Copies of this chain bind each other. A is one copy, B any other.
Amino acid sequence: MEKENFTIKDAARFMGVPTSTIRYYDKEGLLPFVERKESGYRIFTEKDIAALRIIDCLKKTGMSIREIRQFSEWIEQGDASLQQRYEMFLERRRIVEKQMAELQKILDIVNYKCWYYETAVAAGTEKIHDSDR
């Protein structure tokens, strides 16, 4: 298998963001592992693309850029930071599980409102649900 390299445009396409976002992440210290050509152009390896996907995942768990930078710094430290990274993912798991429980509650309310308005539309008025809004 060949070791393929990618441009910043490719990386942006993989992530579904503009290239300016990738540059911003790099400037904020999220991508210290990305190498450069002599010209200064960034070179993204498959490993880098995989790391970008993890960064995207962490973002979607609600982590801030600053918190993700900490993770990138830990990656740079190698095996010395394995325990910290492990604990970070354990915490992210707790947080995502909480988010899912919260979202289920939200869905329950939305489902109630769907029923509320379905019946109100059928009746032509909201008055059938009095003492409610």
Residues of A within 8 A of B (CB): 47, 50-51, 54, 57, 60-61, 75, 78-79, 82-83, 85-86, 89-90, 92-93, 96-97, 99-100, 102-104, 106-107, 109-111, 113-114, 117-118, 120-121, 124-126, 132-133
CB pair A54 B107 closer than 8 Å: no
Q: Which residues of B contact A114 (CB under 8 A)?
A: 86, 89-90, 93
Measured in the bound complex, the distance between the Cα atoms of B100 and A132 in whole Å is 28
- The number of times this chain is found in the oligomer is 2
CB pair B103 A96 closer than 8 Å: yes
CB pair A82 B133 closer than 8 Å: no
CB pair B79 A113 closer than 8 Å: no
Measured in the bound complex, the distance between the Cα atoms of B48 and A53 in whole Å is 43
Measured in the bound complex, the distance between the Cα atoms of B101 and A60 in whole Å is 12
CB pair A109 B54 closer than 8 Å: yes
Considering only CB atoms, which chain B residue lies closest to A95 in the complex?
A: B110
Measured in the bound complex, the distance between the Cα atoms of B113 and A87 in whole Å is 11
CB pair B82 A120 closer than 8 Å: yes
Contact residue among B83, B106, B126 (Cβ-Cβ distance under 8 Å from A78)? B126
Measured in the bound complex, the distance between the Cα atoms of B51 and A124 in whole Å is 21
Q: Which residues of B contact A106 (CB under 8 A)?
A: 57, 60-61, 96
Q: Which residues of B contact A96 (CB under 8 A)?
A: 103, 106-107, 110
